[in-house]
């Protein structure tokens, strides 16, 4: 629960609320120390942490993550789920092929003076594998057309194909776009020797 300044928290099995700065998952620290090598004992990841900025909380998923070389993890709110009205998830890319560690998500609390519940049976984050080429140098190689007068024949033809033609066809079936994309992808996969 957040009062606009401080965050307090509680969990099943206790009746009290506790001020939150950094908190371990209940009974996790000794469990971690029992499993960890001697020089790592005492370094169990915190379950919850607050930031200097009001209403920001970091939540550990309970997982640690590593991906194959060239792959990262996009951590975000779950797709196709109704958002919780008490918090918003921040998105972030973690270079999990180089950095092995706890999988956290940062949330901004948006409701004050009411309990904000995280249901263990309801997902609060989604992890999406992401190839580095999708956000690395390829994402830096782009140009901007600042005015419609900068559109050339290629842009107008693509606009015509994507927007105008489907909207002129009174017999167009719903979902035509998705069907067309899947057909195109299947044809590309058939022609790709790496897929065999």
pLDDT (tens digit per residue) in 24-68: 999 999 999 999 999 999 999 999 999 999 999 999 999 999 999
Mean pLDDT, all residues of the chain: 88
CA distances from 152 to 57, 144, 145, 158 (A): 47, 13, 10, 10
6-23 b/e (C-beta count within 10 Å ≥ 16 → b): ebebeeeeeeeeeebeee
Q: Is residue 67 part of a domain?
A: yes
| Whether 14 and 83 share a structural domain | yes
In a domain, 110, yes or no: yes
Q: Within this chain, do residues 62 and 125 fall inside the same structural domain, yes or no?
A: yes
Whether 64 and 160 map to the same domain: the answer is no
**Same-domain check for residues 40 and 98:** yes
- Among 97, 118, 138, identify where a domain stops: 138
Angle at 83 between CA 79 and CA 89, to 5 degrees: 80
Residues 151 and 134 grouped into a single domain: no
Range of the domain at 74: 8-138
Has residue 196 got a pLDDT over 70? no
CA-CA distance, 45 to 63, in Å (whole number)? Answer: 10
Question: Would 2 be classed as within a structural domain?
Answer: no
- CATH code for the domain in which residue 27 is found: 2.70.40
Residues 6+ apart with CB under 8 A from 108: 55, 56, 87, 88, 90
Beta-strand relationship, 71-76 and 92-94:
antiparallel
Q: What is the rounded CA–CA span in Å between residue 87 and residue 100?
A: 27
In this structure, the answer to whether residues 41 and 92 fall within a common structural domain is yes
Instruction: DSSP for 89-110, please give it.
Output: EPPEEE-TTT--EEEEEEEEE-
pLDDT, tens digit, 9 for 90 and up, residues 158-193: 888 888 888 888 887 777 767 777 888 788 778 766
**Domain shared by 27 and 108, yes or no:** yes
How many separate domains does the chain show?
2
- The model carries a pTM of 0.72
Domain membership flag for residue 58? yes
Give CA–CA dist 66/97, Å, rounded: 6
Query: Tell me, what's the pLDDT at 193?
Result: 64
**17 and 92 together in one domain:** yes
Residue 63 lies in a domain: yes
Give the integer Cα–Cα distance in Å for 152 and 147: 11
How far is residue 185 from each of residues 44, 159, 178, 194, measured CA to CA in Å? 45, 21, 11, 14
């Amino acid at each position: 629960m957040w009062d606009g300044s401080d965050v307090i928290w509680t969990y099943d099995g206790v009746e009290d609320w506790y001020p939150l700065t950094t908190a371990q998952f209940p009974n996790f620290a000794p469990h971690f120390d029992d499993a960890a090598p001697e020089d790592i004992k005492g370094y169990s990841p915190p379950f919850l942490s607050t930031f200097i900025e009001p209403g920001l909380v970091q939540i550990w998923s309970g997982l640690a993550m590593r991906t194959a070389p060239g792959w990262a993890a996009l951590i975000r709110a779950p797709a196709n789920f109704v958002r919780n009205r008490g918090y918003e998830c921040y998105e972030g890319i973690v270079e999990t092929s180089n950095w092995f560690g706890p999988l956290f998500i940062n949330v901004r609390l948006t409701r004050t003076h009411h309990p904000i519940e995280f249901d263990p049976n309801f997902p609060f984050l989604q992890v999406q594998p992401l190839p580095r080429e999708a956000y690395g140098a390829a994402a830096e190689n782009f140009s901007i057309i600042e005015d419609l007068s900068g559109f050339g024949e290629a842009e107008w033809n693509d606009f015509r194909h994507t927007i105008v033609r489907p909207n002129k066809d009174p017999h167009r079936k719903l979902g035509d776009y998705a069907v067309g994309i899947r057909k195109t992808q299947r044809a590309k996969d058939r022609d790709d020797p790496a897929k065999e």
